[in-house]
Amino acid sequence: MAALNTMFANGARRAAYGAAQAARVLWYTGHYAAGRRLMGPLTAPGDAPYAEEFGPLDRDRLKESFRALFRNDWKNIESGRYRLPPEMRALPSPGKLLKQSRDYLRDAEKVARRKAARGHSEVLTDAAREKYPRYYLQNFHYQTDGWLTAASAERYDMQVETLFTGAASAMRRAALPYIGDVLAGRDAAATRLLDLGSGAGGFLREVKHNWPALQVTALDLSPAYLGKARARLGRWKDIAYAQANAEDTGFADASFDIVTATYLFHELPSAARKTVAAEGARLLKPGGVFILVDTIQYGDEPGFDILLENFPRGFHEPYYDSYCRTDLADLFGQAGFEKRDETIAFLSKASVFERVA
């Protein structure tokens, strides 16, 4: 009887998970379609041809990979690797959803104008140049205000989830089992994790939701994004916040057990990527791990290579192509890491590197 009850309870949880994810996918897919109408095709007429290097998109495989992402997410939840995600525990109010929708669609028009004019340097001012590296001062994705304002930070999650039609949070969660592996048999309260380029705090919300005692530091160059993360993660009073460059964090040598970076590396020029990997090695204790989540790279899913080739054309992503060509084992190897594992999660990849040298 107890087994039957458990089966029913699990069936109900699974159905609730499926329904909630389907609703999210529908919501973000609708906004994706509306945004594409405003922004036009990825490659404007007269621009470079659609595919220069890679073959056609494998649409069937893309759909299957999207479904597999959620199947694996559920498997991880069901097997206790992580908890039901926070976005499913507290559903946003209709008022909040409408506000996000209106803001996203209004802003999409501005993004479309910026894209048409190739306007990606609005945030490059003399005042900003004194505070931030040059590569940082761009309107990545043709976003309004770059990384520099509260409005941009507020809008960020809606934009990212829309871009990935509701898959972004599940893709980030591919890193969680690796954090669970580190914590197995360890005291979370005595374990320190640093998240580089923590943005609006979406990933750390997943982390603290699962391991509330873990000692977590959020680091970002943007005071506005850190402010958003602080507001969002307010229920966990022990989180530390640092406004700093991931290339030079100012923390002591060997002061962390885990360093994470989700969707930071493809925003960095190649030299900065090397510096951040080296900084990660300096910050980690021997045996500590660097967990990276970022886009898949060329060859990971050959039928999707054309998507990677075209993405930086439609969205201002100056370092994306070079990231997709980077040998991560080599990049991290040069910094003193050995690659331990990786998981493909739809259009993202979670990779784990152990600090050995």
Ligand X SMILES: C[S@@+](CC[C@H](N)C(=O)[O-])C[C@H]1O[C@@H](n2cnc3c(N)ncnc32)[C@H](O)[C@@H]1O
Shorter beta-carbon distance to ligand X: residue 6 or 123 = 123
Q: Of 283, 216, 288, which is closest to residue 253 (Cα–Cα)?
A: 283
Shorter beta-carbon distance to ligand X: residue 267 or 342 = 267
Shorter beta-carbon distance to ligand X: residue 35 or 199 = 199
The answer to whether residues 146 and 134 touch, using CB atoms and an 8 Å cutoff, is no
Shorter beta-carbon distance to ligand X: residue 136 or 311 = 136
Residues at the contact surface with ligand X, assessed by CB under 6 A: 136, 147, 160, 172, 197-199, 202-203, 220-222, 225, 245-247, 262-264, 267
The CA radius of gyration of the chain, in Å to the nearest whole number, is: 20
Q: Enter the tokens of residue 284.
A: 């980690």
Shorter beta-carbon distance to ligand X: residue 6 or 121 = 121
Residues 302 and 8: their CA atoms lie apart, in Å, by 40
**Angle, nearest 10°, between helix axes 176-183 and 202-210?**
40
* Residue 147 CB, nearest approach to ligand X (Å): 4
Name the closest residue to ligand X (Cβ): 199
Residue 264 backbone dihedrals phi, psi, to 5 degrees: -95, -45
Shorter beta-carbon distance to ligand X: residue 272 or 284 = 272
Shorter beta-carbon distance to ligand X: residue 82 or 136 = 136
Half-sphere exposure of 182 (CA within 13 A, CB side): 30
* Residue 168 CB, nearest approach to ligand X (Å): 7
* Residue 232 CB, nearest approach to ligand X (Å): 12
* Residue 241 CB, nearest approach to ligand X (Å): 12
DSSP at 339: E
* Residue 227 CB, nearest approach to ligand X (Å): 11
Residues 59 and 219: their CA atoms lie apart, in Å, by 37
Q: Enter the tokens of residue 236.
A: 């966990």
* Residue 98 CB, nearest approach to ligand X (Å): 23
Between strands 348-355 and 284-295, the pairing is antiparallel
Residues 47 and 66: their CA atoms lie apart, in Å, by 29
Q: Of 209, 207, 189, 210, which is closest to residue 198 (Cα–Cα)?
A: 207
* Residue 347 CB, nearest approach to ligand X (Å): 13
DSSP at 318: T
> What count of other Cβ atoms lies within 10 Å of the Cβ of residue 352?
23
